[in-house]
Amino acid sequence: KHKLRFFVGDASREGFGGTTQYPDGLVSTREGLWDPEFSEGGSNLREAQNQVNHLISEIREGCHDGCEVWAATDNSVWSAVWNKGLSSVRHLFHLVLVLKQEARKHEVYLHCFHISGERMIASGVDGLSRGNYDAGISLGIDIRQFLPMNLSAWDVAGEVLATWCKSW
C-alpha cells in the first residue's frame, strides 16, 4: 500500500516535464528546458532522457527504495526499448542499462508502460514541458485518474475495440 508510486514523464522539442505521485497523494514535479543543441536530437532520445533523469534522481535520493514504480510514457519507442531491455540505438540502450542498474541497487521495481497522447495531455504532464499549468495534476487532480490500470482494454474502448477486432 505504501510502496507504490506512479510516474508520468513527457518531453517536447523545447522542454521536459515529469511527475511522481506518492501513496499519500504528494506530487514531485520536475520541469525545464533542453539545451538548444540537445533539443535538435530525436524525440525518442528526449523522451528517454527525461524519464531517466527524473527517475534516477529520485532513486539515488532514496525516494523509492524497496518500492514499485509504474512509469508512463506516450512514446512507444521508449516503452518498447525499456521492456525489450536493449536497442540497436546505443544511447537508448545505455539509458536503459543505467536506469536498470540504479533500480536494482535500490530494490526499485520499475515498470514502463505506454499511454495515449490524449491521456498525457489530459494528465497535465504534456503541458509541463511547455509551461502550461491548466490541466490535470497542475489543477490538483490525482494522476491515477489518467492511468486506469484497473481497467481492461475492453472496459476502456468497449464497442469501438470490439468492432475493430471483428473487422480483421
In the structure, how many helices (H) and strands (E) does the chain have?
Answer: 8, 5
pLDDT score recorded for residue 68: 96
pLDDT score recorded for residue 154: 85
- Position with higher pLDDT, 129 vs 35: 35
Burial of 89 (0-12, 13-18, 19+ CB in 10 A): middle
- 157-166: per-residue pLDDT in tens? 878 888 999 9
- Position with higher pLDDT, 14 vs 61: 61
**Entry pTM:** 0.85
Query: Do 2 and 112 contact (CB within 8 A), yes or no?
Result: no
Q: Is the pLDDT confidence value at 63 over 90? A: yes
Percentage of the chain lying above the pLDDT 90 cut:
33
- 64-120: per-residue pLDDT in tens? 999 999 999 998 888 888 888 767 788 888 899 999 999 999 999 999 998 888 888
Within a 10 A sphere around the Cβ of 80, how many other Cβ atoms?
A: 14
